Amino acid sequence: MNRKLRMAMIGGGKDAFIGAVHRLAMNMDGQIELVAGALSINPEVAVDSGKSLFLDEDRIYTDYKVMLEKEAAMPAEKRIDFVSIVTPNFVHFEPAMMALEKGFHVVIEKPITFTLDQAKQLKAKVEETGLSLLLCHTYTGYPMVKQAKQFIKSGALGKVRKVYVEYPQGWLSTFLEGTGQAQASWRTDPKKSGKAGSMGDIGTHAFNLAEYITGLEVTHLCSNINIVVEGRMLDDDGAAFLKFNNGATGVLMATQIAAGEENNVKIRVYGEKGGIEWKHEDNNTLLVKWLDKPTEIYRTGGGYNSSFAAHNTRTPAGHPEGFLEAFANMYRNFALTVAAKIDGITPREEWLDFPSVNEGVRGMAFVDNVIESGKSDVKWKEFEI
């Protein structure tokens, strides 16, 4: 291709946090341009946000349905290539489905949909159309997470035996939604967030990270789900024992009432010969611990890393890379894949290494299974999709 990919955004106006993150990420590599948007359900905010981003006035929309209809009717040299959906998850399914039906590729925030059935419908539509879908599980975009995945895939640790993954946050330690805080309000509202609170919001990240790095799938789980803060309608704390399809076992913890914690996602995986450890607070480091020799320290930018880690590394060793770069890695890999499809060439494996609709379906299945298990007296539950 001799041009940038053209993107439209649904949601993410000037009163939203995540929209700005997406725009920083998609701009980082100069492969994508934002040309259209239905940036808010509030018409005034939608227009003001579009103007502040210098969009052409005829491509600032106050209704995503109108936007998708009009963009689809434009000539090929002008219309968008893909849509980025950065709304709360109860407004994911319909715009994503309509975008796919109109022939547009899709970027979508997690969890992928409001229900598992909706996720399955999206998967069927992606498979039917052959279009690409990026699901924004950001932590898979870090170079050392990709290095961990390739390290385990190589068999260097032997058979995986044990997985510990945790995501502690503290921002919902009080009844924040009672103050009218927008992020807290929708995330704790079952009409907007779905049947899960912390398990849907951050538990899905932990679950995805465990399956992504190990290459395994959860087959059974046993969970405990809690509502700690009085008056809250959805879980703000929980944990689950896991069984994987190779016989390994694991423990997953996700809580939003760990006062003082920020976003220190952490995972440890142990095999027959050793283990790996990665944590978000020191995301440029991967520890490899051996049964019979000293611990090794792998660092972002090291020439010894895999092609997958190297492809997603942006700065020389010793220069910190973080959340925005990981987000941008997802966008770049998605953009390279979409551009390859447009050009009729086969994308490289490194480009295809981003979360998609299959991870979305498994994430929604995790929500259903972990909540059902948490409400049940049965010790173990089969992981059903």
Any domain includes 76? yes
pLDDT digits (tens, 9 = 90+) for 87-141: 999 999 999 999 999 999 999 999 999 999 999 999 999 999 999 999 999 999 9
- CA atoms of 330 and 204, how far apart (whole Å): 17
Specify the pLDDT at position 232. Answer: 97
Residues 125 and 150 in one domain: no
Q: For the purposes of burial, counting CB atoms within 10 Å of the CB of 230, is it exposed (0-12), middle (13-18) or buried (19 or more)?
A: exposed
Residues 209 and 172 in one domain: yes
Any domain includes 327? no
Is the pLDDT at 181 greater than 90? The verdict is yes
Residues 82 and 223 in one domain: no
Q: For the purposes of burial, counting CB atoms within 10 Å of the CB of 30, is it exposed (0-12), middle (13-18) or buried (19 or more)?
A: exposed
- CA atoms of 20 and 84, how far apart (whole Å): 12
- CA atoms of 248 and 28, how far apart (whole Å): 39
Structure tokens at 233: 């309608």
Residues 119 and 182 in one domain: no
Average pLDDT estimate for 295-305: 97
DSSP character at residue 199:
I
Residues 86 and 169 in one domain: no
Residues 156 and 39 in one domain: no
- CA atoms of 298 and 94, how far apart (whole Å): 43
Helices (H) and strands (E) in the chain, counts: 13, 14
pLDDT digits (tens, 9 = 90+) for 14-71: 988 899 999 999 999 999 999 999 999 999 999 999 999 999 999 999 999 999 999 9
Into how many domains does the chain fold?
Answer: 2
- CA atoms of 99 and 106, how far apart (whole Å): 7
Structure tokens at 259: 């006062």
Specify the pLDDT at position 1. Answer: 81
Return the CATH number at 222.
3.30.360.10
Is the pLDDT at 204 greater than 90? The verdict is yes
Residues 240 and 147 in one domain: yes
Q: Last residue of a domain, which of 109, 131, 153?
A: 131
Any domain includes 30? yes
The pair phi, psi for residue 95, each rounded to 5°, is -65, -35
Average pLDDT estimate for 154-177: 98
pTM for the full predicted model:
0.95
- CA atoms of 361 and 116, how far apart (whole Å): 6
DSSP per residue, 89-130: GGGSHHHHHHHHHTT-EEEEPSS--SSHHHHHHHHHHHHHHT
Query: Which domain range does residue 196 map to?
Result: 143-317+362-382
